């Protein structure tokens, strides 16, 4: 039923596997299984914190002890946040738009309508990227 209705989703952070962290910090590359319930809420139903199945890499479920499940979700959310900030936000926003900011200042007159539209969005962009 769930597969037919396309209500099961997998989120795989394999891209985070083997990333080295500084200062003895840890980053996992989890796999999450999610379900969209009848109220249209996106619900986690299983989380594995690392890519390679093994006895030391269990699959966590909502039926696990409360704080065990909470920690599994926290680790998953941390990986999601790291991916979003580094790849999506920084990579697809700041670094992608930097060349647009440079070209806008080099090629368009300050009186050009596109210049006037874009420039407020570039405020501090290059400073943040540096």
CA 66 to chain centre: 25
**Distance between first and last Cα of the chain:** 50
CATH of the domain at 102: 3.10.450.60
C-beta neighbour count of 111 within 10 angstroms: 7
pLDDT of residue 129: 79
In a domain, 87, yes or no: yes
**Per-residue pLDDT tens over the stretch 47-90:** 999 999 899 999 999 999 999 999 999 999 999 999 998 888 88
Average pLDDT over residues 1-16: 85
Token code pair at residue 130: 């540096």
44 to each of 20, 64, 65, 76, 94, how far by Cα in Å? Answer: 27, 13, 15, 10, 31
Round the average pLDDT of the chain to a whole number and report it.
92
In a domain, 32, yes or no: yes
In a domain, 67, yes or no: yes
Angle at which helices 95-107 and 113-122 cross, to 10°: 140
In a domain, 1, yes or no: no
Token code pair at residue 37: 């319930």
**pLDDT of 25 above 60:** yes
In a domain, 77, yes or no: yes
In a domain, 3, yes or no: no
Q: What's this model's pTM, rounded to 2 decimal places?
A: 0.77
Work out the pLDDT band at 1, boundaries 50, 70, 90.
low
Domain range holding 35?
8-129
For the chain, the domain total comes to 1
In a domain, 2, yes or no: no
């Amino acid at each position: 039923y769930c597969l037919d209705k396309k209500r099961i989703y997998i989120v795989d952070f394999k891209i985070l596997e083997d990333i080295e962290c500084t200062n003895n910090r840890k980053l996992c590359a989890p796999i999450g299984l999610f379900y969209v319930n009848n109220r249209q809420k996106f619900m986690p139903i299983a989380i594995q914190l690392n890519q390679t199945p093994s006895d030391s890499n269990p699959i966590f479920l909502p039926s696990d002890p409360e704080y065990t499940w909470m920690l599994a979700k926290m680790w998953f959310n941390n990986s999601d946040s790291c991916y979003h900030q580094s790849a999506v936000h920084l990579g697809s926003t700041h670094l992608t738009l930097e060349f647009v900011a440079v070209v806008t200042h080099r090629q368009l007159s300050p009186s050009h309508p596109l210049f006037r539209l874009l420039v407020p969005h570039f405020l501090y962009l290059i400073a943040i990227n540096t």
